[in-house]
A and B are shown apart, each in its own frame.
Chain A
Amino acid sequence: MALPRRNQIAGPRASPADPTSPARAAAAQAAPLLAVRGLRVAYGAVRALDGIDLDVARGELLGLVGESGSGKSTFVRALAGLVRAEAGSARFDGVELLGLARRDWRPLRRRLQLVFQDPGTSLDPTLRVGASVAEPLEIHRLLPRPERAARVAALLRRVGLDPALGSRRPHELSGGERQRVGLARALALEPELLLLDEPVSALDVSVQAQVLNLLADLRAAQGFAAVLVAHQLGVVRHLADRVAVLFAGRLAEDAPTDALFAAPLHPYTRALLAAAPRARPGAPPAAGREAPPAPTGCAFRLRCPLADARCEGEVPELLETAPGRRVACHRVEEGAAG
């Protein structure tokens, strides 16, 4: 599979034109906020990501699903500079993120923020949570000191917390409250892109609903784009505009959310949806074949009910089947997966 090289994807936003020109403004509207091409990450001999091409538009929420080992968390970690990419490109508003020096990250941190699964471990346990929320404002010297306290209080209120909670330490808060603090901290700098790595997985279902509603409200108010990694398909369906399905470090399929859930194309997506338990009686989840990813050909072929000789010999390419819909499956391409 031919992967586009870095220099092939330099879009119009990379042109050194006058930043105030209308032409540049129009191009920036049309160009994706994030454009990832041929992203590869390896952990030793294990290839975690094997050539990912994905765009995120301004204000769009992209959901990433797949089982453990699919590479979905690695994807956001590579974008945040937490793991080293082996190859590929990830341009954020025209700026290459991969291989960026530490000092060059600083202006970008304002615009791109990461939210982890467990805010209990991502917040500094020794800091009062108000100080944690204020920290990014201090680092970026955004507000004069006297105005920071008011801003922190406003941020805590925005995530549904009593500002008085700002004087507590993380261990004195519930899991849901801590995740709200994590969001307040991430949103302090009004980022354009949030990377959400399993943001509600550690929370109880009743608290999950509160945080998911909050995320939806904040997005409506602030218009940030986001990449949401979640193993719970219902969570992704609820929030995402578009969903990308990863299997063994490759994209199996991506599609607008409603299309993906209504008519999944890739046999893996189908297996994933069939296996998810439904909250009603008499609809037991369907168990598929269990096997590790195949080392050659299509990685899913050992679990695939449709696999044939071609799947064994040839890695399927990600092909567009409809506008905004791509799938990597020989059998779908041949029309066998009706």
Chain B
Amino acid sequence: MTRVRSDDAALLEVDDLRVHVATPEGELRAVDGLSLRIGRGEVLGLVGESGCGKSLAALALLDLVPPPARRVGGRIALGGVDLAAGAGRALRAARGRRIALVFQDAAASLTPTLRVGEQLVEAAAIGGASVRDAAARARALLERVGLGGERVFGAWPHQLSGGQRQRALLAMALLGEPAVLVADEPTTALDVTTQASVLALLRELQRERGLAVLFITHDLAVAAALCQRIAVMYAGRVVEEAPTEALFAGARHPYASALLACSAPLDGPRLARLPSIPGAPPRRFGPAVGCAFAPRCPDAQRRCVAEDPPWVALGASHAARCVLALGAGDAGGRRG
């Protein structure tokens, strides 16, 4: 394990994370230099559309990237200690204990042939606890997530509703008392009413345990409900990162602002047309230069395709990867 320059406030630091996928068309750069910081007790939203690399990034944090994808580079530090060095051994050791993961598909994450209570007791016993202690901890956590009582403890996973399964999964993730919870679209498969209660539970658990959460979603509205900061991802990279308020008040990357504008609102005037983004997200193979969003960007300039866009600081923990975000002093540089 190597100790590199470290941000004191950050609990989880991800630097230049790269995940490539071997495909018939070549080496797909699914995660292409992702950097993130999450502080203790902070919820960071990682938002992007399908194929942007957000789920592979989550899996990389737990050394769970499935072939033909593989982590090809990057630093993943917890409390200043790089876990990514040494072929992922340290990441695997941290998995479930210091970093835990909750998936979208709770049904697939629970073993179908084990009763819910048994699975939790088994998971609790992995840390070396006695069966009796493990059972007590499992029951206490189930109780905490709103699944107390014998009915759920003795139930098979298929007998639970989608919301109950997601709650059980949260309880299981918290058994190891992790410092960091990675939640990948945990409420996407749920009805909105159930989603609201699972989000409320997640917020409570996060606060009472001081959990750092990386919340991955395609839905900016869901991210707004839960996250203090949001990182918007496009083609394997973060294109804008800001406190939630600042992002909604004034996103600076054209992709981030278009994404904010293009979902149909639930209140306010009904729009005749929705702002939309032409085209579809790219898949980037091999070495590529320039901004990945340039082909869809209404404001793209010659230099957007000629050079990699700069990461421009815009204020307190607000930054965007775009030449347009450069200050007015650089306006002369905006060549057509």
Contact = CB atoms under 8 A, between A and B. Distances in A.
A277 B190 CA distance: 13
B218 interface: yes
A216 B274 CA distance: 10
A237 B222 CA distance: 18
B224 A278 contact: yes
A290 interface: yes
A176 interface: yes
A279 B203 CA distance: 18
Given A237-B266, A278-B224, A285-B199, A204 B218 contact: yes
A184 to B, nearest CB: 18
A209 B275 contact: yes
A261 B245 CA distance: 25
Interface stretch (B65-73, B255-263, B323-331): B255-263
Interface string B183-222: 0000000011111110110010000000000000011111
15 contacts: A205-B49, A205-B263, A234-B264, A234-B266, A235-B264, A272-B193, A273-B266, A276-B266, A277-B222, A277-B225, A279-B260, A281-B244, A283-B225, A284-B226, A290-B197
Contact of A287 (B197, B244, B271, B277): B197
A174 interface: yes
Q: Which of A174, A207, A281 has the most CB of B within 10 A?
A: A281
Contacts of A271: 193
A287 B271 CA distance: 28
Interface string B259-284: 11011111100111111111011000
Interface of A: 67-68, 174, 176, 204-210, 212-213, 216, 231-235, 237-238, 257-258, 261, 271-288, 290, 292
Nearest to B187: A277
Nearest to B162: A68
B193 A67 contact: yes
Given A205-B259, A278-B266, 5 more contacts: A204-B50, A205-B263, A207-B276, A207-B280, A277-B221
Contacts of A280: 224, 248
Nearest to B280: A174
Contacts of A233: 192, 266
A207 B276 CA distance: 7
Contact of B259 (A206, A213, A258, A276): A206
A236 to B, nearest CB: 9
A176 B49 CA distance: 13
B262 A205 contact: yes
Nearest to A176: B280
B257 to A, nearest CB: 12
Contacts of B236: none
Contacts of B197: 287-288, 290
A57 to B, nearest CB: 19
B245 A216 contact: no
A279 B49 contact: no
B275 A278 contact: no
Given A206-B258, A210-B278, A279 B265 contact: yes
B157 interface: no
A287 B276 contact: no
B117 interface: no
Q: Which of B244, B245, B272, B274 has the most CB of A within 10 A?
A: B274
Contacts of A261: 266-267
B266 A213 contact: no
A231 B263 CA distance: 14
A286 B276 contact: no
Given A206-B259, A231-B191, A279 B196 contact: no
Given A204-B218, A206-B276, A288-B197, A276 B192 contact: yes
B96 interface: no
B276 A210 contact: yes
